[in-house]
Each structure stands twice: as structure tokens, then as C-alpha cells.
Amino acid sequence: MILSQILYTDHILFSIYPVLYLTYRIMYNFIGFRITNDNLIQDARVLLRRQRSTPAPINTDILVPDRPGIYGPGASQINRQTICRAARDVAVKDHQKSNAEVIINAIASQASASEAVLPTNRTRKEVIPCGVPLFDIMRAHLEKEDTWTSPPPPLVRDMAERRGPTFQTLEDVRVRQIIIGITPPEEIADIHEWVKDKIRLDHGAQPLGVLPLCTTSMRITLYDFLSIADAKEPVAKIALHGSTEEVSSIPLQPCHQDHAETVRSAWIRIPVKILFGNGLDWAVAVSFNITDEDGSQFFVKTLAPPQFTALLNCLPPFVNLGIKEDINMLDTVTPSLGLEKLKVNRFVDLDTIIVMAGWLHKTRSRTAVSYITLGVPPLRVVPMCSQLWAPSYDSLPRELKLQLLTDLKWTFIVMTVFNVALREEIVPDPDIVCFLLNSRQLHALNWWAQWMVHTSAGLFVKDTLFGLANSREEALRSLCAVGVDGNLLNDTPHRVLVVLAVLQNCTTLSKGGARFLHIERERIVANHQLFARQPISQFIDDFDRQISDEVLLYARFDQYAVSRLDRGVRVVDDGSRFLIDHPCLRLPVLQLDPSRIMVQSLPEIVRRAKRSMTEGMLEWARLNVRKVNIFLRACDQSGPLAKRCKAIYEPMRMVFARITDHQAERVRSLEEKIDRRMQEELDAEVAHGIALENRIAALKQELCDAENERVLSAEREYYIRNVQDIGEGMDRSDWRGAAPRRYKFSSAGPRHRGESPETRACSQAPIAAPEVSTASRSELNVWMDAREAVGFGQVNPAPNKRERASTAEVSFASDVGSLGSCDDLPNE
């Protein structure tokens, strides 16, 4: 139909207006085939259904196959130059704008926000090897009822309607600007809080673990750079001069006189813009203070406030295509421009994620990735290193603003597509993943995002190895780490070997994705230990669960010999489910109509299938997620059916919650029983806690009494030893009367073992541990005074017999006589 419309338009224009026909053909070659959003999603559904309805082909682990000769630097190939040339031919001349601004204006004016625009000099299959953009394949896949809930449908719809580079982006995105040296610290702190809120919202909708980053730069002479670096004033203004050639490294020492000419002619790149955000509704633009006075540019060096450094250092790892050079520039150059050293050690190159996801196309340029992933041309018209980026963000023309925001949006959407593509390969079943992690979907998705960052950070594609790759394993082995000298190592990192292990027997989304539930669940359980070998600090405790017989029973639903099943069998379903039951399972799946279920028929259905009630019903619930609520409503309306299914009530509701991330219907009779049982347990625990508090109070009282008695016992011991050592010369007939009386216990209970009625009464309420009573203190003071009167003094070791022999009779008789009768002392 599209072709007939094109031919009809060609015939009419050529026969009536030949000049308009030539203009139309030029514009048509630039604009190309337009495919509406509805047609794209429909084509994606047909593609997935066709791929799954046939036996699995070979190379099911390749997401994007190679199509040589389509993308490249040639004049007849698709690249940035040919796109800009075609746009320039149809652009309206404007002498007040640069050529780049004119080209951007032409692309944005002719493009559509939601439509795919493909060049006409190539077939659709050549431009997009999969036939449909990967983004639309992801959209069609996420429509299925048993997939992950991230990204949510509103976000997917929003990305679909904004995929194209249009000027509507400038109105949709709120940009907060920071100019170093001009923006006050209070405003930067406010922007910091605003950014944290935006990142929290993005993370709640779709955890990616990374943040898109876009940097622009300009060239200055090495002489000017050294002048900026050497400036020590709080605010230094350095004039910028022209430059002719580039230098690859920054000298750390001042150049000698014979190198002065080289210093004035060589140039380096310095950052002038740092943008980060999702590009859909928010972004932050950071600009260095570069002024233009009378045709000359000046760099105003000002020490950045600590609030700005805190803002950048709290951000997640950055991501973009070919981000390594930008990070190196920020890491090495910005300290000389007035910024403290940034903590940007962790970043993710989008090129690495693309290769990990199964990209085998030999061209990984931004143009190729944009057409194959989104179906639209990229908007990298102005080089990211240009003098045009020197003014602040607000002072830039709207065409340049559009390029910057489109770059952020493009990175966010492309990262989302390949994140979903990898996730649906490795962990396609959210139920078993959340079961193993004992969590809901958001926590599991957060783990997945951090695992992706941990696996891909610091890895880069070695082009020489990737160019020779003919399989996905060879492509993955082209991912290498950076050595101490800055070059890529040849050895395959351990992280890549783990990825290779967990990708065994996987099927990419472009080949229809995974097919059979039981096979994928068993594979995820087997990979659980591999994930545990890559510990992530905040998720270490989530992998403590051992793969027990109970876990395997739930993963297989009591099916056996699952690993021997053929995973390439064609799928026969209505397209609403992602993972289905294999036709060759040893035990049949329960055939259950929840709208007509009766309590008498349920045992018969389970018996005919030779299944256990629990595993059979949970298997049915996992395969028919949308029917779980219908079944639970039937249980709510039938008391006998609810009583029959009470053992599987909570497990079935958890299956529904782990897949849909929503709560299932409640059965009132079962909920009342659960609430009553839990309330009884709660009351028992409260009573037990009160009893423990009373017991603790009683023990404290007993301990206090024991301590008081121990003090008085020591005094009695000392008194008796003194009376015993004095021996003859004293009247010992009434020595008990003068001894300190024993301590009498309080109402906490008797000294002896066993409980008295008073003790049992005391245990009904907490008792505070009392101090020693006033009466006991007075009795103790009377005895201490009496002891001092007889000359005992402080508690010291008893004198030996030789020391007391000469004074015992005289001193004791005279002192005791002055005390009077022992009856004056308190009795025991």
C-alpha cells in the first residue's frame, strides 16, 4: 500500500510539475519511508508470533546479525555525512544561522516524534536487519501478561511518542542550569535536592543503575591551558587564542623556551558543557564561564563551590556511547579548570552493553545503532568538540539545545532497550527470581541493574577481536579491561566468563525470546550460584538461600526430566503469554476453568492429572496469571471451595504478586482465619513478653537483695573473726547480740528456693529494684558506731596473735565497759 501511494505520487508530480517532482524526490530520499507508531507495534507483534510459531532457528543467541556494506564511511553508505548532505539539500537557507543549525532545523522539522523514518536508498531489511526496530520488539514483548513490569507501560508509551528529534523536546524537558563561578552555592544545593528526587522517581519506575551523560568541548591552545592551570587568583580571566594542531597529552611541567612555539600552536580539548539527565522530562546543564568580548573569548577561572562537587560525586555511574574519552577528559582536565577531582571512576560504555546483548553487526556507530534500535536518524550534526558550544546553555541557539537534549534522550532509550533485551534472556521469569531473592520486583530489578553495572563497568570492545567474531561467544570475548598502560588487555575478564556461562541456551528477543516456563526456571535456579559468585555489597544477603529440594520442587512444579526437553519446539499460543508449558511434559498441566470451578470437581481434576494439589495449582497459577483473581473470587463466593484451597491460598497470591507487582484478590473467610490466628499469636507473644518483664524485675530484686546481704555477711564475718581471735578476757555469752543482724528480704520473695504466695502475686506486675531500706541503713550505722567505739576502726585484716597478746585484756575490758549493756543494740 505504501509503495502504491509512492508510485501514484511520482506519476502525478512528474506529469504535471517536473520541477516539483525533482524537489519531492530529493526530500523523499532524505525523509525516506515513514512508518507510523501503530504500524511499528503491529509489525513487531507479527514478527514475534512468526518467530515463536516455527522451530527455533540456528544462532538464536544473536540479537542483531551482520549486514555488511550498509553502514560505513562510503558515499553510498548510511552515515552522518550522507544524512547531513541530504538534509542540507532540502533545507531553507538562513544566512543568520550556521550550516549546522540549518541542517538540524531541517531534520527536526521534517522528522516525526513517534514515527520511524528510514532512508529509501536501502531496503527496510538492509537498514534494520531484524525487520523491526528493537525498541518496538521490546514494546510488543512487554505487552505479554507474564513479563517483568519494568519499564512500565506509561514510560514505554512516552518513549515511543518521543523517539524522533523534534523541537517539542525543548518544551517537554525542564533544564536546570549551573554556571561555575556565577550560580550561587544555595541554588546548586537546591538543584542537588531536585536531582536526587528525579533520580529517585526514575529508579522507582525503571532501575537502570546508570545516568546518561553528554559532554561538549572546545579547542584551546596548550599555552592558554597552561595559563589557566597556573592561575592562582580566586577569579582569573584568561584570553583564549587560536590554534592549529592537536596534542595527545597534557605536559605536567612548564615547557622550555625552545618549545614555546609548539605550545602556542598545539591545542587540546577542554570541557565546556556537562549535561546529565534522562532527556525525557529533566536534565541539568553545567557550563564553564566563557565570555565573549569584542570578538575575543575569555575563560573565567573560578574555584567551584563544594556543593557542585558534592552534586557530581553523588550521581550514579554515567553512560553513553563512546564515553571513555569524555570521562578521561573530565578526569584529567577539570582539576586545572577550577574543579576538584571528580569521582567518575565507574562508568559504562554503551558499546559494551550492546555487544553483551548480542550485537554482531560489524558497525557500531551512532547512526547504525539509532536506525536499528529506534528507526530514526541520530542528531549528531555539530561535532561535540566545537567552538559553537562555548556560550552558556541559555545562550545557545535552539538547534544546539535540541542536539544536546536529544543525545540524552537517545542514550536513555537505547540503554533501556538493551537492558530489557539482556534481562529477558538471562532472567525471563520474574516469579522464580523474586522467589530466590525473597523480594518484590523492584528489589529484584535493582539487583539486576547493579549486576549489569558491576559486569560492564570498565570493559571496552577491542575492535580487532570484534571484527573477527562470527558468534556471540567470540563477540563477548572481545570485551577487555584496561591495563596499567591504558591499553586494552588480551585476556578475557572473569566477569565476561560469568556472562558466557549464564547465557548458555538463551534466545534473544529478535528470535522470539524464551519459550518454555519449566526449562527457563530450572536454568535460572542453576545460574543462581553463578550470580552469587559476583558479590554486590548491598545484595550479599539475598544469595544466602541454598538450592534445597523445596526450591527445586517449586521451580519445577514437581515435573521431572525438564532439562532433557527440546527448547526449540514451536510455540502454539494466543500470543498473550511469554513462557508456556512444554508439550512434552511428563505430567499434564491442570485444565481448569476458574469461572466454573466447583468444590466437587477440583479433586477430580487433580486426580485425573495425577498431580499433587499444591504443585499442580501453583503451576496453573503461574501459567495463567490473569485468571488467578477469577479463581480467588470463586473461592470467596464458595466457603467449601475456600476451605479446600486454604493450603494454596497464600502461595497463589504470592505468585500473582511476584509477576504483576500487585496484590491479588482476597478471600474473606480465609483472611478472617488468618487474622484470627495471627491475633492469637500476637496476644500470646504480648503475654509472654509481660511475663518475661516481670521475671526480669523479680530477678533484679533478688540480685539487689543478695548484694545487700553479701555486704552485711562480710560485716558479720569480720565481727565473728574478731570475737574469736580475742579469746579469753571477754564475756562471750552474749556475742550474738552485738553482731550485725542479717538482711531481711523485701516483698520480692523468700531467700529459699520455691515460690511463696507473695512471690506469685509479685509476678503479676513489674517491680522496680529497690535500694537498701532506711531501717537497714540505720541498723548498720548503729553497729558501725559501736565497732568504732570498741576500737575496730576500718575493715582491715585481723591482727595476728603476737600483736594482740599484750593489749587484748586491758583495751577490750575498758572499751566494752564504756558501751553499757549489749541489750541496747538491735536484736536479730
| 3-state SS track over 676-728 | HHHHHHHHHHHHHHHHHHHHHHHHHHHHHHHHHHHHHHHHHHHHHHHHHHHCC
Q: Report which residue type is found at 733.
A: S
pLDDT-based confidence at residue 230 (cuts at 50, 70, 90): confident
SS3 238: strand
Lowest-confidence range among 208-217, 691-700, 785-794?
A: 785-794
Cα–Cα nearest to 101, from 381, 375, 312: 381
Q: List Cα–Cα distances, 399 to 115, 366, 408, 413, in angstroms.
A: 20, 19, 15, 21
Residue 262: the pLDDT is 59
pLDDT mean over 437-460 = 92
Residue 720: band (very low, low, confident or very high) from pLDDT cuts 50, 70, 90: confident
Q: Is the dihedral of CA 565, 570, 573, 576 positive or negative?
A: positive
Q: Is the pLDDT of residue 31 over 50?
A: no
**Residue 797 banded pLDDT, cuts 50, 70, 90:** very low
Following DSSP, what letter does each residue of 166-192 receive, concatenated? -THHHHH-EEEEEETTTS-HHHHHHHH
- pLDDT given for residue 58 in this prediction: 78
Please report the pLDDT score of residue 264 as a whole number. 65
What 3-state class would DSSP assign to 245?
Answer: strand
> Is residue 760 predicted with pLDDT exceeding 50?
no
Letter string b/e over residues 755-773, b meaning 16 or more CB atoms within 10 A of that residue's CB: eeeeeeebbeeebebeebe
Of the ranges 258-262, 292-296, 462-466, the best mean pLDDT one:
462-466
Higher pLDDT, 221 or 344: 221
Instruction: Supply 301's cell numbers.
Output: 577561572
- Residue 722's pLDDT is what? 82
Q: Express each pLDDT in 184-194 by its tens digit.
A: 999 999 999 99
Q: Which of 305, 311, 306 is nearest to 276 (CA)?
A: 311
Contact between residue 582 and residue 559 where contact means Cβ atoms under 8 Å apart = no
pLDDT for 717 equals: 86
Q: Is 50 exceeded by the pLDDT of residue 792?
A: no
Q: What is the DSSP letter of 386?
A: S
Instruction: Judge contact between 551 and 525, C-beta under 8 A.
Output: yes
Q: CA-CA distance, 61 to 63, in Å (whole number)?
A: 6
Q: Would the pLDDT of 413 be above 90? A: yes
Dmax (CA) for the chain in angstroms is: 151
The pLDDT assigned to 349 comes to 94
Percentage of the chain beyond pLDDT 70 is 80
How many whole angstroms separate alpha carbon 658 and alpha carbon 663?
9
The mean per-residue pLDDT over the stretch 23-41 comes to: 64
Which pLDDT belongs to residue 104?
87
Q: What is the pLDDT of residues 468-502, one digit of tens each?
A: 999 999 999 999 998 888 788 888 999 999 999 99
Report whether pLDDT(150) > 70: yes
Gap between the Cα atoms of 17 and 23, Å rounded: 10
Least confident of 304-318, 563-577, 647-661: 563-577
Pick 806 or 150 by higher pLDDT: 150
> Phi-psi category of 23—alpha, beta or left, where left has phi over 0 and alpha has psi -120 to 50?
alpha
Between 823 and 464, the higher pLDDT residue: 464
The strand pair at 235-239 and 211-221 is best described as: unpaired
The span from the CA of 443 to the CA of 435, in Å, is 12
Identify the pLDDT of residue 229: 85
**pLDDT, position 693:** 96
- The rounded distance, in Å, linking the Cα atoms of 459 and 495 is 10
Q: How far from each other are the two terminal CA atoms of the chain, in whole angstroms?
A: 117
Q: Is the pLDDT of residue 774 over 60?
A: no
| Exposed/middle/buried for residue 44 (C-beta within 10 Å: 0-12, 13-18, 19+) | buried
Burial class from Cβ neighbours inside 10 Å (0-12, 13-18, 19+) for residue 735 reads middle
CA-wise closest residue to 372 among 68, 134, 581, 192:
134
Average confidence score pLDDT of the chain? 81
Between 674 and 10, where is the model more confident?
Answer: 674
pLDDT digit string (tens) for 376-406?
Answer: 988 888 999 988 999 999 999 999 999 999 9
580: β partners? 516
219 three-class SS: strand
3-state secondary structure of 482: strand
Could you give the residue ranges of the DSSP H alpha helices within 111-217?
A: 124-127, 134-142, 153-161, 168-172, 185-205
User: Mean of the pLDDT values across residues 614-623?
Assistant: 94
What's the 3-state SS for 285-347? EEECCEEEECCEEEEEEECCCHHHHHHHHCCCCEEECCCHHHHHHHHHHHHHHCCCCCCCCCE
C-beta separation of 145 from 625 below 8 A = yes
How far apart are alpha carbons 155 and 159 in whole angstroms?
6
Q: Quote the pLDDT of residue 546.
A: 81
pLDDT of 668-714, one tens digit each?
999 999 999 999 999 999 999 999 999 999 999 999 999 988 988 88
Task: Tell me which DSSP letter residue 795 carries.
Answer: S
Rg of the chain on CA atoms, in Å: 41
> Contact 719/786 with Cβ under 8 angstroms?
no
Rounded average pLDDT over 214-234:
86
Specify the pLDDT at position 762: 41
Q: What is the dihedral of CA 180, 182, 185, 191, to 10 degrees?
A: -70
The pLDDT of residue 450 is above 80: yes
pLDDT in tens, 436-448: 999 999 999 999 9
Q: Are 206 and 152 in contact (CB under 8 A)?
A: yes
